[in-house]
Structure formats: structure tokens, C-alpha cells
Amino acid sequence: MGKHEPIIEFADVTFKYKSQQQPTLKNINLKIFPGEKVLIAGQSGSGKSTLAHCLNALIPCSYAGDMSGVLRVCGGEPRQLGVFGMSKRVGTVLQDTDGQFIALTVGEDLAFALENECTPKEEMVQKVSEVAGKLELTEFLGSAPGALSGGQKQRVSLGGVMTCDVKILLFDEPLANLDPATGKRTIALIDELMQKEDLTVIIIEHRLEDVLYRKVDRIVLMDDGMIIADKTPDKLLSSDILKSHGIREPLYIAALKAAGAQISPEDGPSSIDTMDLSAHKDKVKEWYHQADKNKEQEKGDTLLSLSHLQFSYNDTRQIIKDVSFDIHSGEMVALVGKNGAGKSTIASLICGFLRPDEGVISWKGRDLSDLSIKERGEIIGYCMQSPNQMISRPMIYEEVALGLTVRGVPENEIKERVYEVLRICGLYPYRNWPVSALSFGQKKRVSIASILVMDPDLIILDEPTAGQDYAHYTEIMEFLKDLRNQLGVTILMITHDMHLMLEYTDRTLVLADGELLMDGRPWDVLTNDEVCDRAYLKRTSLYDLAVKCGIDDPGDFAATFIEHEKRERGAIEVK
Amino acid sequence: MKFKLGIREIVAMGIGTALFVVLTTVQIPVFLIPNTFLQPRMAVLAFFSAAFGPIVGAVIGILGHALGDAIYYSSVWWSWVFPEAVVGLCLGLFAKQFEVREGGFAVTRNVILFNVIQIIGNAIAWCVMAPLLDILVYSEPANKVFAQGTVAFVLNIVVIGFLGTVLLVAYSKIAGRQSGLKAED
Amino acid sequence: MARILSYEKKNTFVHRLSGFTKLLFLILWCFAGAMTFETRILVVMLLIGAGVYYVADIKWKQVSSVFIAIMIFMTLNLVAIFFFAPYQGCEIYDSRTAICHLFGNYYLTKEQLFYEFNVCIKYFTVIPSVFVFLTTTDPSELASSLNGVGVPYSIAYSVEIALRYIPDVQDEYTRIKNAQQARGIEMSAKGSLLKRIKNTSLIIFPLIFSSMEKIEVVSNAMELRGFGKKPKRTWYSKRPLTSIDLYVISFITLFCIATMIITFADGNRFFNPFR
């Protein structure tokens, strides 16, 4: 196979799942050459995951359906080689790194595929230590998954497929479960591996800006089962195709376009670090100076107040160190920080799942410590990350009514309140449906509705948008925003999504190693290098854009642009 | 009847066992008789057996009981481990009829069949096998072990009958393909 | 709970043995202990057991709570045996030597005491062996050891999956329980039995539902990495057998055979001092 022969070639491939009426992939023609790094982008349902499943032969071997056309990968046809045959050519790194970590320890998990190949033990040990060395996992070989960070687990997943000496690495949404700084490191690591090894890399991801942190050869944009564009990042970013197909553009590109700049591929827009802004500088400055400045919002009354909170599980390690902050009525606040910084612990302390060692949590000035979990649940609602972890009744009405039913509220009052909440959440037409008939975003709304029905003043949401694409993310966040605006519900979100922070919250609380590092406006947080570093956040590219354009106050520039975007979105909705 | 043991079944064994073990400490006290508890983990065993077949059921019974006892009580009561497998095995034999994962469980016929089978399975396990093993191994007095077995039998048919049935019906409603749903005003 | 099993890494004779050896030892030991009622063998086993505890460097602190729990359980059990069948021993040993009258029809007999003493030491030979096994065997070795003693590798691997996911499921259970409690669903001892069962179902159901999804993800991941491809598989964490392992295996095999011969030589598995 020469350098100019494609390593992957789709020729007129169409695929229809057995259970569906319409094909999910329609006449796909795509060539990928050895050594290339290709990003496949598209919103949920665009067919990008189906395309990936064709490469590792899960389609048509595990998911039945009709396939036509020819697909060749490394000179063979996946459907003939089967999932096992393909596992030696294409290494798939799944989005859910916990699900992919099968064995008890890192070493065993790296060796998993070799064990299945009946490789002799000495050979396995050698291969595992070689791969562990490449991925800086050597000191963790004996660790259990519970002792690893998200980034380390992902490196184990990657190592697990690399032990097979695969030629193609396929990443399925590699950034979905990582904090921004770790995601950045993952992208860098992929790049380093490609320089050392003979690899072809395919990344399926909708977070374009984060993937473009390192050079990508081509972006394949999919929508509705078809390839819409197959271009270099520079060309694609200069056009408006991304936005019209539900993919969010990098923030600096969006800001440039808002300022009226005509971006051309020659400017090198795929990276803000190297982009030539000479032609656009003045436009950006001009836009900034005449744009409406964002106004400081008035604060409501103090609802919840944490003062000098301390907590440790056992006396050894302090999880929460002297944390104090207030939440005001009607605010939307983000609680951010890397995994293990203590975000969930704070939420558990507020809800009463855990009790602080020291310090006071008060509600409208009243100490909460003598209230039970159930009693706190009536004023503070808690919503878990996955709606599946909360849904305990098969039917939507029953599920939303549950909190009232167990409290012995009269049947007619339950009905009234449930119907009202269902109307607010846009679920009223489906009230007699089973929960399973809903989409993920709708399920999320059911789980929020089942909290709202108890009429809490504050809702705490754990990672409300984790793993969601832009369309679903927007759906969920706009819904939360409406709740705040219409019902006056105060919202505290645990998140590591920086867009969410920037676009939807009034204030950001940054935690690092159990300490409150910063309590400020989101754009001030995301333009502060030191805070970003310690909390594993990533400085927003708006900052770099502002600096490169010679704007003195990058934080204010970021705020101005975000305000502008919010207004634009509002305008679209009104239409 | 043939039962396939694919990867999905193997993973179900592992994760089912994990669930069974974790729920070892979750017990519902029964007021009338002191120190007797309903064990929700039995409902989980029934659920996985009915959903994944006899081998999965039997393995979760043995592994779950042995690991659960070993981890939480640091000792294994072997003569009560093996009967657990019988319960899983019996229910699993009818996994095809139950159609749990396809959404076909929530019909009267299957609920009745499930409960008849679980009563038979529990009877074999706790009224016959466990006492016999105790007599065989420890030469324990027959009246004592049969009395113990009968208590276990009653508790288990109650917990599987209520909790097991509820879980299966609810899951079946969720797992099934939805058709003919209409949005209402 | 980082490591669910109480395995502690140490460098003793028992720790150094291969998991396979220890599992085989456990199985044959439990089998021998279960079959025999030969008091002298049981006493020997008790002594060997104590020796293993000593060699494996197991601290009293590790075992004290378990020991007390087993003692309480055993006392209850022995009392129950007495109340249900005060003359079980007399039947077994075919003799009756009364010590004193207790009440009603209950007499304390030497035979009954001796029988219950036998039951007691049977527990103490078999049950603590599980404990030694757990504290000295790396959980990673468990699956390969089971495969080694003849369990098909697919079923043996489910043990690995179970041990891998116990901490995750435990964690998820706690989180679901908390969230449901905040919604007002409590698993307390309040309310009728039916209500308690219902509330339990409301907490277990989301756990089962999310476990069913986990099964999908994990089985896809395993398939993608070639699990089940071949009729056999090798094990990364399997410890090769050393000559010491072979000695231990020979010892336990011979011990088991000897126990069977001694126990059943006279056609009766009981050692009878009353004849």
C-alpha cells in the first residue's frame, strides 16, 4: 500500500438501520490517507457516529441493517473482517472512558486485548510497559480506575488499543467528559503520538475550537447522513457552513464575524495564535468601541449563604477548606473546578447529604443544620447529571408527581401542580407517555420537572449539559434560562463547560483543591491565567483575540461579545 | 432450549453480581418477627435471571452471594450459596417467555408465570436444598434447618413477588418499543 | 472505598503464593472441612489455620470484629440447635450421658455438648479460611485463578467485571439514594411493609436502569477489543507457579485425600469417643 493509496475509502456507502425507515448514511464518498488527522463534525443524528461504527465493523456486525456501496479500510472490508478482525487495524477510543476501563487495574486493562489474543505473559508485560511508557502511565500500572483522573482514564483507553499496534485511531467525542485543560492535553498528546508513530487519526467531535488546538488536516462536516463539506480547517472557518449546520464556531471566529471581518483562508483562521489579524484589527476595535456595553446586574436578596465551611471524609484529608460564598435570589451561578476539587462535595453539603465539620450553611439567614435531607429538598432541588439516575417511574406523569405523592399531597392538588409544571417544561402533550419515548433533552426536562414540582427556590444541577452537542446544550440551557426568568428560580450549576459559564451565568465560583479560588464574573475568570491554570480551565480565545487586536481590557471585550451573542440569540427566538 | 452466552450475558453476570453485592447491606426490616429482613438483592437476582437467562441467573446467585458475604461478613456460608443459584436458574429458564428486554413482560400472563416459577424455585432452594446441605455438612437437626429454610422461603417469595415484579414491569414498560403514541393537548 | 476487598499487599509466605494455589487450597480445605466430623482432623485443621494466620501476618485488629460477629452468630446457632433438638448428639453417637436436668424435657448431655463442639470447630476451620484468602489474594488474580481451576474464562472474567464495578455501583447507589431522599423518598423503617418495599423499588429502579445501560457500553467496549475471540485467553496478572506452590498444592491434595480416608474408613464420618 503506497503513501498515496487511501487507508480508508468509502465509495457510495449507504446504510439503513434495521429498525428505521430512512437510511442514516446516504451515499458517503470519502477518502482518508495514511498519516492524516481528520475531524468529523456534525450534530447529533447527523450520522457521524454511524460512520465511525462502520469503520470498526460494529456496523453491520453488531447493529443489523442494510449496507450498500464499498468500504475499504487498510485494504480489507470491515464487514468481512468482523469486529475482531477490525480491532487489530482500527483502535476505537470511546467517549465513556469508565465504560472502556474493563479490568481492575491499569496494567490489566492495557493488556486486555493481548490477553484475548492469547499472547504469552512475558510478551504482554513487555508490550504493556512499552505503551505505558509512551503514555506516562508507568507509575499507575497497579492503580484501580477509581484512583485515576478523567485524563488518565482516557490515556488508559488509548493505551488499551495501542497495544494492538493499530494503524488507525478513532476517537469518539474524546473531549466530552474532560475538563478544558485536560481536553487540551489530550489533543496535544494525540499530536505527539502521530509524530512518533505511523498513525492515521479520526476524531469525532463537535467542540471544534478545542480540537483545533493542534493542527488538523481536514474537517468533514456531516448533516442528515450526508457529507456537507470536506475541507481544510482554514477554508471551512472562512465560510458560514458550520453555523448553518448546527456546529458552533470557535469564539474568536464568531467575534471576528460579528465585527464584520471577512475572513479568508489565507489569514490562517484555524488557530488564534498564528492567525494573521492585520486586516481585521481595526474592525474589531471599532466594533468593540461602539458596541453596547454590558450592564452590571442588580443583585437580589441573599438566599443561601455558606460561611467558613470545612469538611473531610475522615480526618486525613481536608476536602473543603474554609469555603464561604453567597447565592442571591434569581442568580444563575456556575461552580467550576477540575474533577476532585470538591464541587460535588459542596453540593452534597448544601443538600444535607453530608454534614460539614465546621461552618454554617444558612438559608435566608436561618441555619439549615437542623433540617433533614427531605426538608431541605423542599427548598433546594438537586438534579443529578444523568436523567436516567433519577427516573424511577416508567410514566412521565407518575415520575413528575412522585415527590408530591410520597409527601401525601391530595390527588387533585397533585394533578393541578404536575400539569402546571409539565406545561412550563413543554412536556404537557406527552404527559401520558412512557419516559423512554423521549429524547435525552426531554428526559432531562422530566427530571428537572420532577424537582420543580416541589416548588424549590434554588435548583442545583450537576453537569446539566455533559456529553451534549450544541443543539441539545442550547435546548437545555435556554430552558433553564426561561425558568429563571419566568419563575424566578435561582440556579446553581456544577460544570466544566466554559461556554456555559460565559454564556449563561452571572457569576462563577472557582474551586481548586477544596478552596474557593475566585468568586467573580465569568469573563474575569476566563481571562485570568493564574486562576485558569490552577482550576484546570482554559483561557477563552476571546482574550487572545482582544490582546492581538490591541484592546486594553480583554475581560470587558469578552463580556461585550457574550452580551452581543445573547442579544442575537434572543432576536432569533423572537423571529 | 438453547441459551447463548454472548459478551452481553457475561457483562450482565459481572454487573449483576456487583449490584447484588452492593445491595447486600440494604435490608428491609419486617416488624412482626425481630431480626428478620427482606433482602432487596433477591429482587435484583430475579430481575437479571428473568432478563438474561439461567446461566446468568445461576452465576449471579453463586458469585453474588459468595462475594457479598465474603466482603461484608468476611465468611461464606456455602450451604446457602448454592440454593441461591437454583432460584436464578429456575427464573432464567423462562427468560425467552418473559421478554424483559424486548418490553414484553408487562402482561398478566408473564407476571403470573414469573411468580409461579419464583415460588417453585424458592421452594426447591430453601425448603429442600439449603436444609439438606446443612444436614449433610453439619448434621444439623432437621426440624431446625427446615424451620430456617421455611422462613427464608417466605421472605424471599415476598420480596421477589413484590419488588421483583415491580422492577420487571417498570423496566419492561421502559424498554419496549413505543408505538401509537400521540401528543395530547 | 478504594479497594473493596480487604486485600493488603504484604510480602509473606502466604502472600507470595499464586492465587491459583490459594484458591485450590480454599476449595479443597472447605470441602474437607465440610465432609469430615472426625474431631481429631478438625482440631488439626484448626491448628493449621491458626498457623496460616500467623504466617500471613494477619493482625488481631483486622479480624477482631469479624471474629466477634462469628462468635455471636455461632452462639445463637448452637443455642438454636439445642432448643430444636436437645438430643441430636445422642442420636449421632448412639449413647446418652446426662449431666444435669435443665427444664421440662431438656437435659444437658455430654453427647450433645460434644456434637455442638464439633459443629463449632467446623465453622472455625472453614469460615476463617475465606478471610485469609481475601486478605492475601490480589483481586486481580481471582479471575485467572478461577479459570485455572476449570471455570470457563468467560464466567471467570465476570468476577473481574464484578470486582471492577462494585465501587462504581456502590457510589452510584449512594448518589441515587441521596437524590431520591431529597425528593422525599426515604428507606427508613417508617410506614407499612408494602410502603417500604415500594420506596426501595424507587431507589433500586434507577440503579437497575443505569446498570442496563452500562452493560451495553461495556459489552461494546469488550467486543471492540477482541474479547471472546479465541477459545482460550491468557492472563496478564497471573502469577506463575513456583516450586513452593507445587509443595502447597501437593500438601493440600494429600491432606484432603487423607481426611477422606480417615473419616470414612469405618463407614461413619463421626469420631465417637462414647463407644
Per-residue buried b or exposed e for C75-107, using 16+ beta carbons within 10 Å of the residue's own CB: eebbebbbebbbbbbbebbeeeeeeeeeeeeeb
Phi, psi (degrees; rounded to nearest 5) at A64: -75, 150
In this predicted structure, the answer to whether residue A275 has a pLDDT above a threshold of 60 is yes
Phi, psi (degrees; rounded to nearest 5) at C113: -60, -45
- Asked if C209 has any chain B CB less than 8 Å from its own CB, the reply is yes
In this predicted structure, the answer to whether residue B32 has a pLDDT above a threshold of 70 is no
A287/A283 Cα distance (integer angstroms): 6
Residue of chain A nearest C239, judged by CA positions:
A121
pLDDT value for C266: 78
Q: What predicted TM-score, i.e. pTM, was given to this entire model?
A: 0.90
pLDDT value for A467: 72
Chain B positions in Cβ-Cβ contact with residue A430 (cut-off 8 Å): 181, 183
**Confidence band, pLDDT 50/70/90 cuts, at residue A295:** low
Task: Dump pLDDT digits (tens) for A424-445.
Answer: 888 999 888 888 888 777 888 8
- Helices C60-84 and B142-159, packing angle to 10 deg: 110
Asked if the Cβ–Cβ distance from A429 to B183 is below 8 Å, we say yes
Q: What percent of chain A has pLDDT over 70?
A: 98
pLDDT value for A575: 41
**Confidence band, pLDDT 50/70/90 cuts, at residue A574:** very low
Per-residue buried b or exposed e for C40-54, using 16+ beta carbons within 10 Å of the residue's own CB: ebbeebbeebeebbe
**Confidence band, pLDDT 50/70/90 cuts, at residue B73:** confident
Question: How many angstroms separate the CA of residue C12 from the nearest CA in chain B?
Answer: 21
Q: For B12, which of C37, C70, C215 is closest by C-beta distance?
A: C215
Asked if the Cβ–Cβ distance from C214 to B15 is below 8 Å, we say yes
pLDDT value for C144: 93
Neighbours of chain B (3+ CB pairs under 8 A): A, C
Q: For B22, which of C130, C166, C187 is closest by C-beta distance?
A: C166
Residue carrying C-alpha cell 446457632? C77
Please give the grid coordinates belonging to residue A187: 489533543
Chain B positions in Cβ-Cβ contact with residue A429 (cut-off 8 Å): 183-185
Same fold, A8-242 and A302-544: yes
Please give the grid coordinates belonging to residue C9: 499487599
Contact A46, A239 (CB under 8 A): no
pLDDT value for A572: 59
In this predicted structure, the answer to whether residue A219 has a pLDDT above a threshold of 60 is yes
Question: How many angstroms separate the CA of residue C19 from the nearest CA in chain A?
Answer: 15
For testing the chain A interface, which of C1, C183, C220 should be mutated: the one with the most A CBs within 10 Å?
C183
A552/B96 Cα distance (integer angstroms): 70
In this predicted structure, the answer to whether residue B99 has a pLDDT above a threshold of 50 is yes
- Asked if B157 has any chain C CB less than 8 Å from its own CB, the reply is no
- β-partners of residue A367 are A362
In this predicted structure, the answer to whether residue A186 has a pLDDT above a threshold of 80 is yes
Query: Cα torsion at C215, C219, C222, C228 (round to 10°)?
Result: 130
Residue of chain C nearest A53, judged by CA positions:
C224
Average pLDDT over residues A127-145: 92
In this predicted structure, the answer to whether residue A296 has a pLDDT above a threshold of 70 is no
B172/C11 Cα distance (integer angstroms): 51
Residue of chain C nearest B56, judged by CA positions:
C155
pLDDT value for C115: 92
Average pLDDT over residues B58-86: 88
In this predicted structure, the answer to whether residue C1 has a pLDDT above a threshold of 70 is no
pLDDT value for A60: 87
**Confidence band, pLDDT 50/70/90 cuts, at residue A397:** very high
Q: For C157, which of B10, B137, B166 is closest by C-beta distance?
A: B10
Average pLDDT over residues B97-116: 90
In this predicted structure, the answer to whether residue C45 has a pLDDT above a threshold of 80 is yes
Is residue A230 classed as helix, strand or coil in its secondary structure? strand
Residue of chain A nearest B173, judged by CA positions:
A394
Q: What is the CATH number of domain A8-242?
A: 3.40.50.300
**Confidence band, pLDDT 50/70/90 cuts, at residue B35:** low
> Mean pLDDT over all residues of chain B?
88
pLDDT value for C206: 92
Q: For B18, which of C122, C166, C222 is closest by C-beta distance?
A: C166
Task: Provide the residue ranges of all domains of chain A, joining segments of one domain with +.
Answer: 8-242, 250-290+545-575, 302-544
Of the listed ranges A237-251, A406-420, B37-51, B167-181, the least confidently predicted one is: B167-181
- Restricting to C residues 218-237, those with a Cβ less than 8 Å away from any Cβ of B are 218-219, 222-223, 227-228
- Where helices occur in A43-179 by DSSP H, the ranges are 48-55, 58-61, 78-87, 97-100, 106-116, 121-134, 150-162
pLDDT value for C156: 93
In this predicted structure, the answer to whether residue A3 has a pLDDT above a threshold of 60 is no
**Confidence band, pLDDT 50/70/90 cuts, at residue A348:** very high
pLDDT value for A36: 95
A240/A185 Cα distance (integer angstroms): 29
> Mean pLDDT over all residues of chain A?
90
Q: How many CB pairs under 8 A join A and B?
A: 28
Task: Dump pLDDT digits (tens) for A9-59.
Answer: 999 999 998 877 889 999 999 999 999 999 999 888 888 889 999 998 988
Task: Dump pLDDT digits (tens) for B150-183.
Answer: 999 999 999 999 999 999 999 988 876 666 677 7
In this predicted structure, the answer to whether residue B31 has a pLDDT above a threshold of 80 is no
In this predicted structure, the answer to whether residue A293 has a pLDDT above a threshold of 80 is no
Instruction: Say what the ipTM of the complex is.
Output: 0.90
Of the listed ranges A534-548, C148-162, C176-190, C248-262, the least confidently predicted one is: C176-190
Superfamily of domain A302-544: P-loop containing nucleotide triphosphate hydrolases (3.40.50.300)
Residue of chain A nearest C199, judged by CA positions:
A406
- Cα–Cα distances (Å) from A123 to A198, B128, C153, in that order, read 22, 51, 20
Asked if the Cβ–Cβ distance from B173 to A431 is below 8 Å, we say no
Average pLDDT over residues C247-260: 94
pLDDT value for A304: 95
- Pairing, β A8-17 against β A65-73: antiparallel
**Confidence band, pLDDT 50/70/90 cuts, at residue C189:** low
In this predicted structure, the answer to whether residue C2 has a pLDDT above a threshold of 60 is no
pLDDT value for B174: 82
Q: For A430, which of B170, B174, B183 is closest by C-beta distance?
A: B183
A119/C233 Cα distance (integer angstroms): 8
What are the E-state strand segments in chain B?
Answer: 28-29, 37-38
B47/B37 Cα distance (integer angstroms): 19
Average pLDDT over residues A542-546: 93
Q: For B141, which of C66, C81, C128 is closest by C-beta distance?
A: C81
pLDDT value for A364: 92
Chain B positions in Cβ-Cβ contact with residue C126 (cut-off 8 Å): 78
Task: Dump pLDDT digits (tens) for A475-498.
Answer: 889 889 988 988 889 999 999 888
pLDDT value for B34: 62
pLDDT value for A12: 94
Average pLDDT over residues A545-558: 91
> Mean pLDDT over all residues of chain C?
87
Asked if the Cβ–Cβ distance from A429 to B185 is below 8 Å, we say yes
Asked if the Cβ–Cβ distance from B173 to A429 is below 8 Å, we say no
Asked if the Cβ–Cβ distance from A161 to C178 is below 8 Å, we say no
pLDDT value for B173: 85
Asked if the Cβ–Cβ distance from B178 to A433 is below 8 Å, we say yes
Check residues B24 and A339 and name the one with the higher pLDDT. Answer: B24
pLDDT value for C240: 87
